[in-house]
């Protein structure tokens, strides 16, 4: 069934029909056809992850990918209003999380989605931004006093900067927990040397983490 919504959504994306795609996705939420989690994980995420470009010209493929990402981003920002409405019925756990992507990491859709998932699980979650330099992360921790910093990392090359960042967080703010998530954490050999509190692979891990910290 969800696959039919995905297929219908893809017809808008393939035509680069932004108004059509945005209205279709929002209607699925407003009419309670899908939950936020279902829309993000079964419709929006696969539309990016399985992006295939049939054009021969690589430049055309690049702008098409950028345009598609901008459509998804608009949908996510529009869904934030619905997330806020839903959160009114969620018991807060009073745990503050600061989500971001580290320096050089531009892939931010997963970070935004998971910030919304955290809000829906009762966290006081804030998405700070993409490509965030180490010094700004430390400054934000100093000002914001989060319980956890969550780093979303897609490109394994960025695990070097992730290690530098997490080492500094541990050094200056040992009381702050570190959450890691994203495609870069598929191969444990690549991140065994990193300092972290939890690696969260998906929504199930996030929910389990929420349960664990709520009962402390
Ligand atoms: C959109 C996109 C871009 C956009 C990003 C725009 C933006 N504002 O985010 C732009 C055009 C900027 C881009 C640039 C590049 N990209 Co790119 N990009 C993609 C694409 C098509 C989709 C990524 C995406 O948003 N996926 C959807 C989200 C929802 O998935 P996700 O991030 O994995 O998140 C999920 C989980 O991982 C998890 N998660 C993520 N973070 C967190 C955090 C927590 C706490 C938790 C609990 C869970 C969690 O939850 C999400 C939902 O399940 C992928 C293709 C792919 N297969 O993913 C390539 C891809 C990621 N890109 C790739 C590459 C190589 C690049 C470039 C280097 C290309 C270049 N030569 O310039 C640059 C790098 C830029 C940089 N410095 O970061 C490669 C990475 C290969 C690799 N493994 O290293 C991919 C896989 C394409 C490919 N097949 O080669 N890209």
**DSSP states of 162-194:** HHHHHHHHHHH-TTSEEEEESGGGS-GGGTTTS
pLDDT at position 197 is 97
pLDDT at position 51 is 78
Could you tell me the pTM of the whole model? 0.96
Which of 9, 48, 154, 207 most suits a substitution to test ligand 1, by most atoms within 8 Å of the C-beta? Answer: 154
Chain position carrying tokens 């209607």 = 27
pLDDT at position 215 is 66
Q: Which residues form the pocket of ligand 1, taking CB atoms under 6 Å from any ligand atom?
A: 41, 45, 48-49, 51, 65-66, 69, 104-111, 113-114, 150, 152, 154-156, 179, 181-183, 200, 202, 206
Does the structure show a pLDDT above 90 at 216? no
Maximum average pLDDT range among 3-17, 97-111, 186-200: 97-111
Instruction: Find the mean pLDDT for residues 134-159.
Output: 97
pLDDT tens readout for residues 46-89: 999 887 777 777 888 888 888 999 999 999 999 999 999 999 99
Quote the DSSP letter at residue 43.
Answer: I
Q: Are strands 177-181 and 198-199 parallel, antiparallel or unpaired?
A: parallel
- Nearby residues of 85 by Cβ (< 8 Å), 6 or more positions away: none
């Amino acid at each position: 069934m969800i696959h039919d919504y995905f297929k219908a959504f893809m017809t808008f994306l393939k035509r680069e029909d932004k108004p059509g795609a945005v209205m279709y996705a929002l209607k699925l939420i407003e009419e309670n056809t899908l939950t936020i989690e279902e829309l993000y994980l079964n419709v929006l995420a696969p539309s990016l992850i399985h992006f295939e470009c049939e054009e021969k010209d690589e430049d055309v493929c690049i702008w098409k990918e950028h345009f598609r990402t901008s459509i998804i981003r608009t949908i996510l920002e529009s869904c934030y209003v619905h997330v806020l409405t839903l959160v009114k019925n969620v018991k807060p756990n009073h745990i503050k999380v600061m989500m971001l992507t580290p320096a050089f990491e531009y892939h931010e859709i997963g970070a935004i989605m998971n910030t919304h998932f955290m809000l829906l699980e009762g966290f006081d979650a804030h998405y700070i931004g993409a490509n965030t330099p180490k010094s700004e992360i430390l400054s934000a921790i100093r000002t914001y006093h989060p319980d956890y910093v969550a780093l979303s990392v897609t490109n394994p090359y960025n695990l070097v900067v992730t290690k530098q960042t997490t080492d500094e967080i541990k050094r200056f703010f040992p009381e702050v927990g570190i959450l890691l998530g994203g495609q870069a954490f598929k191969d444990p050999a690549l991140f065994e040397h990193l300092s972290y509190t939890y690696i969260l692979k998906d929504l199930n891990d996030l929910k389990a983490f929420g349960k664990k910290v709520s009962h402390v």
